[in-house]
Amino acid sequence: MSDSPRSAAADRPVPGGAPHWAQITGLLAAHGVTLVLDVGGNTGQYAGALRRNGYTGRIVSFEPLASAHGALEQAAADDPGWTIAPRAAVGAAAGSVEINVSPESDMSSLLPMTATAERHLASAKPTTTETVPLTTLAAELPRYAGASDVVFVKSDTQGYEAAVLDGLGDTIARVAGLQLELSLVPVYEGQPDHLVLQNRLAGLGFTPHLVVPGYWSRHYGRMLEYDVVCFRG
């Protein structure tokens, strides 16, 4: 088989076209989820797939990149149950931060790529930066969640999942379930290993209900990441 260069995005499945989407929306329904906080909304792939697979509850998407945020607003324009939060990254503390912008926008990260990733995933290597506001889910959740809402948090933040969890603080008690992208191989510097985050989730009372195979790279010759969907109990 040829080992010719291939974009990182070409290694990923197309959102909405795989059976796990119906499994995710089935879990949201089974747990009575009424509000999905879509952290790292990019151009709306995740939220759109939820809609196409039957989720009818509210969605709030967060996205820091200017171009992706504009596309996200367009994607949600005709959906009254889908809110786009003001452009910001989500992390452990409020402020501002530089994001490393990749030509493949869903590979952009607040963390720098490792040297190995830059070599193997050359088409995704960041080419510029943007300074963006930084917020926390502890600050945002009261703005969007009512007292009776059952909240689900999805975080696809390219290695920044631990900081997103940090930023929940005590409001983690309001969260019924989470979907996190976890790393088998570090693509970004400082990215925690998947077992560290799995153990952290277990300590918070969350158990895995679904594992979704993720980014398979021909250049590494292995899967680099996967998603885990967890709920309490």
Q: Which domains does the chain have, with CATH numbers?
A: 9-232 (3.40.50.150)
Rounded Cα–Cα distance for residues 62 and 72 (Å): 9
CA 157 to centroid of chain Cα atoms: 5
pLDDT tens string 147-183: 999 999 999 998 999 999 999 999 999 999 999 999 9
Backbone angle region of 131, left / alpha / beta, with phi > 0 → left and psi within -120 to 50 → alpha: beta
pLDDT tens string 93-121: 999 999 989 898 888 898 888 999 889 88
pTM: 0.90
Quick one: CA dihedral 98, 102, 103, 106, positive or negative? negative
